Amino acid sequence: QLDDLYLIALVHRRDLTSLRDLTAEHLPLLRNILQEGQEAVTKHFSVPASQLRIYLHYQPSYYHLHVHFTALSYDAPGCSVERAHLLADVIDNLAMDSRYYQKRALTFPLRADELLFKKFQEAGRA
């Protein structure tokens, strides 16, 4: 059913693990994912690009670069503003500054039971 459409595009390159790895060098790849992904969703599911939320997570749930395509009507896990970074915004940010995601402080939520949160506690940073 299209109300909870949730698709993922996986990048073939294994050296790209998260948003932090991206630079302007990757703009052709990202633009291709955006364009081809929108076209594929429209062709196969008849959902127009204007009805899609296309984003990357930071921190990702697994470290192999992937892009989420969800229906706007679906409140997908992790689609909220503090975790999801819209692909169109990522493209714009990298076009302005090639190393944007190496320089930028990125806020993200952590649950109390997550290992990363425990590491922050051990380091006295939470």
Q: Which is catalytic among the residues 44, 57, 66, 85?
A: 66
Coil, helix or strand for 60?
Answer: coil
Q: Is 85 a catalytic residue?
A: no
DSSP notation for 65-124:
-EEEEEETT---TT-STTTEEEHHHHHHHHHH-TTHHHHS-------TTSHHHHHHHHTT
Query: Which residues face 69 on adjacent strands?
Result: 7, 54
Q: DSSP character for 47?
A: -
Cα Rg of the chain, angstroms? 16
Active site residues: 66
